[in-house]
Amino acid sequence: MACIVTSASKTKAMTLAQKINNYLKVSLTYKKDPSLNHYVSLWGDLEEVSKTPSKNLIKRCVCNRKRHQQLLSNVAVKTAVSKINTAGILSRKYTNFEELYDDLLKLIGTGKTGISNCTVYDCALRVGSIMSPKVEPKEYVYYHRHLCKNVRHIFGISHLPHPYRMKYADFVKLEPAFKKLTPIEVEDFLCLM
C-alpha cells in the first residue's frame, strides 16, 4: 500500500487510499455546494465552455484555468487560437482523447510557442467536452511539469516512462482506490496533493 507524507510536521503518514477518499469527500461536497470549495472546479469550468459564444470558443479553450498555472501571454493565446482555427480542429471527428491531445500538442505546444503541456491538456479537455460524442481521457492520466514530481513520488520512481501521460491502469494497479476516480479526477487529485 502506497504511503504519502503530507508535511514534515506530521508524524503519521497518510496512505494514498486515505488521500483519495479525502479528495472524493471534498469533490462531492463541492458538487453539492460550490461556495464551500477554495479552487475552481474542473467540472464547472468545462460546463462553462459549452455556454461560450462560438466566436470566442477557441480562445476560451486555450485560456487556462487560473488555479492550474500562470496566465498565458496574449501573443501565445492569439497564435494558438489562429492555428487551431486554421487547422479546423473543431470539425474533426476524434475517436479518443489521445488523438485530440496529440494533434493539439503538435499544433500549439511543440517548440517555442509559450504553450505548456498543461495548457494543451486543458484545451483538449475543453474542446473534447463540446464534441459529440464527448472525447475525454479514458486510458491515460495526463500530467505536466509540476505534477511530474507527484507522479514520481507516489510511484517511487526517479524517471517517468512518458513525458506527459501515464496509463490509468498503472495508477489503479498501484492503488486500487484510484478506480474510484476518472482519469480527469486523478490529474486533478495530483494537482491538489
Give 10-residue mean pLDDT values along the chain (193 residues).
Answer: 44 79 74 47 59 67 58 84 91 94 93 85 88 92 86 92 93 96 90 78
The residue assigned the cell 469550468 is 45
Residues in the chain: 193
Torsion sign (Cα): 68, 42, 165, 115:
negative
Instruction: Give yes or no for a contact between 128 and 134, defined as CB atoms under 8 angstroms apart.
Output: yes
What does R_g of the chain's alpha carbons equal in angstroms?
17
Domain ranges in the chain are 43-130, 138-193
Quick one: DSSP state of residue 38?
S
Q: What is the pTM of this model?
A: 0.78
State the helix-helix crossing angle for 117-130 and 54-62, rounded to 10 degrees.
150
